[in-house]
């Protein structure tokens, strides 16, 4: 079956760095997305990786290892506004998105 695993909840301190992991098992693979979702709001696109390696976008970076079925989202210099859920989604061989349940990130002062 197809499956996406990510931690349910994580806590981090303002100004610190946090890494949110995502492992995937899908029928084929055509890339992996990360979205941010504040409570009760729309998910917003953060990153898309299809090749191995790290892609950096300001304070946020996303990493992919296709051989390990593994990705992570790295958030640096955490701010209170980064408190949100982070959704990982894999694009399978039929270009259908398989979504993880999301990781709720709590930032403490």
Q: Which residues bind another protein (CB under 8 A)?
A: 4, 8, 30-31, 33, 35, 40-45, 48, 50, 87, 89, 91, 95-102
Nearer to another protein (CB atom), residue 16 or residue 50:
50
Question: In the bound complex, what is the minimum distance in angstroms from residue 14's beta carbon to another protein?
Answer: 26
Q: Of 58, 68, 76, which Cα lies nearest the Cα of 20?
A: 76
CA triple 97-21-98, angle to 5 deg: 10
Nearer to another protein (CB atom), residue 21 or residue 30:
30
Distance between CA atoms of 101 and 109, rounded to whole angstroms? 26
């Amino acid at each position: 079956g197809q499956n996406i695993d990510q931690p349910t909840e994580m806590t981090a301190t303002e100004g610190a760095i946090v890494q949110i992991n995502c492992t995937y098992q899908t029928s084929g693979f055509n890339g992996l997305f990360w979205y941010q979702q504040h409570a009760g709001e729309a998910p917003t696109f953060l990153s898309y990786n299809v090749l191995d390696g790290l892609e950096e976008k300001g304070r946020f970076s996303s990493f992919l290892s296709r051989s390990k079925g593994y990705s992570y989202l790295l958030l640096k210099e955490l701010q209170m506004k980064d408190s949100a859920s982070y959704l990982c989604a894999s694009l399978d061989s039929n270009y259908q998105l398989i979504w993880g349940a999301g990781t709720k990130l709590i930032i403490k002062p």
